[in-house]
Amino acid sequence: MVRAMMWYWGSGVHWWGWLLGLVGMVAFWGLIIWGVWYFVTGLSRRPYEQPRQEPGDAKRILDERLARGEIDTDEYRGLLAVIRGEKVPGDGRPPVGTAGQR
């Protein structure tokens, strides 16, 4: 009695099919992991933008400080001269009470 060995010659996946599947799986999971990382770090690293200050904002802030009573009219005039680039009356220093304030 002779036995015949049966070899598999069907339509199986070749080596390049396995390689393509592996590359596709790594790319898929890589994109998922990158998307999660980008979302998490994007939320924690991006500070909220502060609005840009226009040149007239310094005068507006100075006007508000005068209105709130934080400075008097002499200080207001001296600081306004500094903002406009004019020479400050006196010894060239800003008025008293404005050192270290922004």
Domain locations in the chain as residue ranges? 14-45, 55-97
* Confidence bin at 97 (pLDDT 50/70/90): low
Burial track 26-50 (b if 16+ CB lie within 10 A, e otherwise): eeeeeeeeeeeeeeeeeeeeeeeee
Mean pLDDT across the chain: 78
- Model pLDDT for residues 19-54, shown as the tens digit of each residue: 999 999 999 999 999 999 998 888 777 666 666 666
pTM of the model: 0.35
pLDDT for residue 18? 86
